[in-house]
Homo-oligomer: A and B are copies of this chain.
Amino acid sequence: MEQVRIGMIGYKFMGKAHSHAYRDLPMFFPDTAKPVMKVIGGRNGEAVRRAAAQFGWEEASTDWREIVLRDDIDLIDINAPSDAHKEIALAAAKAGKHLFCEKPLALSLGDAREMLQAAEEAGVKHMVGFNYRFAPAVRLAKKLIEDGRLGRVYHFRAVFLQDWILDPDFPLVWRLDKRVAGSGAHGDLGAHLIDMARYLVGEMTEVVGMSETFVKERPMPSEMTGLSAQGSKDAPKGEVTVDDATLFLARFANGALGSFEATRFAAGHRCTNGFEINGSLGSVKFDFERMNELQVYFKDDPADVQGFRRVLATDPAHAYSEAWWPPGHTIGYEHTFIHEMVEMMQALQENRQPVPNFHDGVSCQAVLEAVERSIDEKRWISIADM
């Protein structure tokens, strides 16, 4: 499989990020199967045609069912709003298409499992869009852990802090509507933390959480868009039905302790997606706002020069870096998507499942829902019971 013909459903924030990834991939990873940008789909005909032209897709369509059934499509990329993921995925799997689905995989654990089952029964490849795994600095953390250089992991603590809805007059966009988004900070941001934890530390066994909606009503927007929105503060108000912030504690199967916090109410944090891992031999720290850097500490460094070192993950020794620029020349957010699509393309090329895939989407959803249940029932919830 030297070319992968893609039909993509969705054309907003994630649609743009994916399109760019497909567009840049062959230039920097010329040995990887080449994505062919066949058709982009969305509900608003004019908008989707404009997106097709701007992003570089051959065709535009307002009928995702038609796209899914086309013979000249190998892979369906689903980045429509979360409430549409399942229906599209099931149809695409049935049509024998490989699947790339943005996170969260689905609005519920049951739906996610159904999607995984459909993909497995159809025998197609499936991937889920946890893009932060693909930052070279995160890959370095993974390598250090896998090589045993951090020893036994004792602690994982992670925060995903944003502040884009701090203003109480920010309008009630779809991400604040539970029916469309499933959940708020928890599903949007916490899902990334959970995936990172699973990727780097392993499975969790039990969780307990708490959650809050600080601003309970907001003005209805005149026009809804991805992350931005037009709206008057004097517009009629609607109820915010998702969480503004969710925190939880977790135990991992390997004995580590975890702390998680996702919030959209952390003034000054545009996109602080950060974690720290402490092991018996060392520690690592990451903050997405400085995504090219990993802070690394080794307990067995000489006694007079122990300290966190700031590794700029742009050297040849770092994953993906040789495809880019000389050491010290940094990359950005969009590159996580390019690397993600490299994994998808290589998996198809090598006829294997990409990682992370729907199994990871399901496992993440199980933790998300366990946390929600623990909040409802005010007690610890075992992941095994989900």
Whether A289 pairs with B214 at a CB distance below 8 angstroms is no
The B-contacting residues of A in range 51-92, CB under 8 angstroms, are 53-56
Whether A306 pairs with B299 at a CB distance below 8 angstroms is no
Whether A354 is near chain B, meaning CB under 8 Å from some CB there, is no
Q: Which residue of B lies closest to A161 (CB)?
A: B278
Determine how close the nearest CB of chain B comes to the CB of A339; give it in whole angstroms: 13
Given contacts A304-B315, A310-B308, contact A251 B328 (CB under 8 A): no
The B-contacting residues of A in range 228-277, CB under 8 angstroms, are 228, 245, 247-249, 251, 255, 257, 259, 261, 263, 265-272, 276
Q: Which of A210, A281, A288, A324 has the most CB of B within 10 A?
A: A210
Determine how close the nearest CB of chain B comes to the CB of A368; give it in whole angstroms: 17
Whether B297 pairs with A307 at a CB distance below 8 angstroms is no
Whether A108 is near chain B, meaning CB under 8 Å from some CB there, is no
Q: Which residue of B lies closest to A304 (CB)?
A: B317
B residues in contact with A30, CB < 8 Å: 53-54
Whether A174 is near chain B, meaning CB under 8 Å from some CB there, is no
In this complex, how many residues of chain A approach chain B with their Cβ under 8 Å: the count is 100
Give Cα distance in the complex from A161 to B20, angstroms. Answer: 32
Give Cα distance in the complex from A289 to B315, angstroms. Answer: 13
Whether A164 is near chain B, meaning CB under 8 Å from some CB there, is yes
User: How many copies of the polypeptide does the oligomer hold?
Assistant: 4
Give Cα distance in the complex from A301 to B163, angstroms. Answer: 14
B residues in contact with A302, CB < 8 Å: 317
Which of A1-9, A151-159, A195-203 lies at the binding interface? A151-159
Determine how close the nearest CB of chain B comes to the CB of A215; give it in whole angstroms: 9
Whether A296 pairs with B307 at a CB distance below 8 angstroms is yes
Determine how close the nearest CB of chain B comes to the CB of A123; give it in whole angstroms: 33
Given contacts A265-B278, A305-B296, contact A291 B330 (CB under 8 A): yes
Contact of A24 among B20, B140, B269 (CB under 8 A): B20
Give Cα distance in the complex from A24 to B140, angstroms. Answer: 28
26 CB-based A-B contacts, threshold 8 Å: A13-B325, A20-B24, A143-B304, A154-B214, A161-B278, A162-B328, A168-B280, A208-B208, A208-B249, A266-B283, A267-B278, A268-B278, A268-B308, A270-B315, A271-B327, A271-B328, A289-B292, A297-B309, A302-B317, A305-B309, A307-B311, A308-B310, A309-B310, A310-B310, A324-B332, A330-B332
